[in-house]
Amino acid sequence: MNMSVLTLQEYEFEKQFNENEAIQWMQENWKKSFLFSALYAAFVFGGRHLMNKRAKFELRKPLVLWSLTLAVFSIFGALRTGAYMVYILMTKGLKQSVCDQGFYNGPVSKFWAYAFVLSKAPELGDTIFIVLRKQKLIFLHWYHHITVLLYSWYSYKDMVAGGGWFMTMNYSVHAVMYSYYALRAAGFRVSRKFAMFITLSQITQMLMGCVINYLVFYWMQHDQCHSHFQNIFWSSLMYLSYLVLFCHFFFEAYIGKMRKTTKAE
């Protein structure tokens, strides 16, 4: 059995998935992501206000189940989309991996591409636990959730270039991140270096996102990539803002604290 058959061997649910119906639904309904974002923002700020004078909820068991579910989903997504992307890279090269629209309608990846964009709506539930447990809620958290939801739904409907890279990277980082959250919620002691690794992975993802956007823009000028300037503009702005915010978070959460500890000693 050759590599292509092994890599692109589909499960029955992947074969049965109708990507044309999915893309059509998203083209007709993608603007609902604005409604979800508005309701989410209302909950974030309204919920924090309501919780000010209330005792926090423990919610440890539900949080373990939530994080574990998203971890398993992300692991499968990373493995399946990663297999497709590795195959395209090895057989057709970097340009094809960036510009190929087959990620949206090809074997294996088509189901996971749609699952990815849909998952950005329920992932908003992360913040429910932060609000109800009265944990610190930073700007990066809710800004990231809203903008990823809006951009994912907006991009999927147009099947724009670069999606394979964006989704595979996000699946991979989330596979590690939600596994970490599940372990912490379950009471396991996890090294601080693990958290640092996750943040560095997120920073690397944002750097790669900027690079992929540049490649899409460059090859689009030569009619070799399917995208449009508006999409590249919003995507680049989004990734650059994430890069700045994650770098700032890394400095504040790790470098800054290390310096304070050193001075105290």
Active-site annotation, residues: 144
Residue 107 has a pLDDT of 86
Residue 16 has a pLDDT of 93
Residue 84 has a pLDDT of 93
Distance CA 246, CA 165 (A): 19
Question: Would 43 be classed as within a structural domain?
Answer: yes
Band (1; pLDDT cuts 50, 70, 90): very low
- pLDDT of residue 211 exceeding 60, the answer is yes
Is the pTM of the predicted complex or chain greater than 0.75? yes
Question: Would 180 be classed as within a structural domain?
Answer: yes
Question: Would 147 be classed as within a structural domain?
Answer: yes
Q: Which residues of 56-87 are buried (b: 16+ CB within 10 A; e: fewer)?
A: eeeeeeebbebbbebbebbbebbebbbbbbeb
Question: Would 100 be classed as within a structural domain?
Answer: yes
Question: Would 262 be classed as within a structural domain?
Answer: no
Domain extent, residue 97, equals 1-192
Residue 259 has a pLDDT of 59
pLDDT digits (tens, 9 = 90+) for 101-157: 889 998 889 999 999 999 999 999 999 999 999 999 999 999 999 999 999 999 999
**In a 10 Å sphere around its CB, with 0-12 CB exposed, 13-18 middle and 19+ buried, how is residue 12 labelled?**
exposed
Q: Calculate the average pLDDT of the chain.
A: 92
Question: Would 222 be classed as within a structural domain?
Answer: no
pLDDT digits (tens, 9 = 90+) for 45-77: 999 999 998 999 999 999 999 999 999 999 999
**Number of structural domains the chain divides into:** 1
Question: Would 175 be classed as within a structural domain?
Answer: yes
Question: Would 242 be classed as within a structural domain?
Answer: no
